Amino acid sequence: MKITIALAAFAAGFSLTHTAFAVDIPVTEDVMTSSFFQGTNTVRGYASESNRPVMRVSTPGAFGNAGAETIYLSFNYDFSMFAGPVVATLTMQSVEGGFGADASAGNPFTVSAHGVNADPLASITDDTNPAGSISWLDFYNSNILAADSAAITTVNCTDCAVTFDVSTLVNSWITGSNAIQTIALTGKNDTSGNDILHGFLNNDNGGVLQGATYLTVTAVPEPETYAMLLAGLGLTGWMVRRRKRQG
């Protein structure tokens, strides 16, 4: 009877731990801004465009330019399906940026994933959005939030996957403390003083899905789930040892 109870407790704990699930969420829209973009076309890389397979992130003030090249990633997804805390990882594909100024093992680049306090696609003035209320540079300076320390990554390679721990940011989307489901990828936290223009694959280039940018969101089981599992394991182990002594 006791063994049956122990096994039931173990099974219940095992089952509950497996209620945790991981979901891969592709980016809905990814675009970039840059001081190199002249005229009214200041936001580029929309899915409807087919001439920008690679986007870039730069160090601040690279080559004497104002601001920094920044990638904005927008996720149109119902995060309310997650009832509790999650672990969230952003994955992007690092590639050559096309200007010979990429990060490398000898020239590493600190890239960070930030939340924002306004929607860049709706806010930045551009030929796609002439009703926008702010320039790309003012948005860069004023509307990008500080990055969580876990969301800061050193990039030192091309043709490799790069990941960012964006758990704090995604949990703020779930709780509603930040309603803007956009990530800004920047070099704001790089202090090397180097001129780096590093490339990342555009996820959707003119309708061609390259599948390089996505969030992996994993639900975290509640503490009582682990307690039940450990209790079941402990009771099972005790009963097995007791039977051996009796035998």
Mean pLDDT of 222-229: 48
SS3 for 208-244 is EECCCCEEEEEECCCHHHHHHHHHHHHHHHHHHHHHH
Q: What 3-state class would DSSP assign to 19?
A: coil
Given a cut of 70, is residue 6 above it in pLDDT?
no
Given a cut of 80, is residue 18 above it in pLDDT?
no
Mean pLDDT of 50-70: 93
Instruction: Look at 133 and 210; give whichever has higher pLDDT.
Output: 133
Euclidean distance between CA atoms 37 and 14, whole angstroms: 54
Mean pLDDT of 32-51: 91
Instruction: Look at 89 and 15; give whichever has higher pLDDT.
Output: 89
Q: How many residues does the chain have?
A: 247
> How much is the mean pLDDT over the chain?
86
Identify the band that residue 88 occupies on the pLDDT scale cut at 50, 70 and 90.
Answer: very high
The predicted pLDDT at position 241 comes to 56
Instruction: Look at 211 and 91; give whichever has higher pLDDT.
Output: 91
Mean pLDDT of 34-60: 92
Model-wide pTM > 0.85: no
Given a cut of 60, is residue 120 above it in pLDDT?
yes
